[in-house]
Amino acid sequence: MSIRQITSTLLKDVRGAIAIEFALLGPILITMMIGVFQVGVYMQNYNAVQSLASDAGRYVMIQYQKKNDMVNADIQSVVRGLAVNAPYMLDTDRLTITATTASTSRVTGAKEIDLKIDYTLEDWLPFVDLPQTTVSYSRPIFVVNS
């Protein structure tokens, strides 16, 4: 067999071409698929943190309407209690809650409480460093001083 015949035979032989193509493209496609899942989890956690802050704000406002003055530590513990239960199911080890009373309120006659919630996401791909690995959300809560 001459070199020309061997070359011609190899060029016509397509066995194993699919395996080679998958070996080249498979890791890229799998990484992209896991990245799509990571973005979906990020969006779900962002919505959970945002809804948690809204629920916490409603809870604090109702408590102040009932004449139950809450200190910042009480607000933080209530928010943590809401976060670990359904529908949020957030991990407390990755959750940071800060409630601070503003020195001057933007609304006259009201007390302003700034609620900040940080939630660190779990990386599914440890070799890919994503810039937004912490979901942060803050909102003011205005309550009437009693």
pLDDT band at 4 (very low <50, low <70, confident <90, very high): confident
Q: In 3D, which of 17, 16, 11, 20 has the Cα closest to residue 3? A: 11
pLDDT band at 128 (very low <50, low <70, confident <90, very high): low
Q: What is the mean pLDDT of residues 115-122?
A: 92
3-state secondary structure of 117: strand
Q: What is the mean pLDDT of residues 8-23?
A: 81
How far apart are alpha carbons 108 and 98 in whole angstroms? 23
How far apart are alpha carbons 63 and 71 in whole angstroms? 11
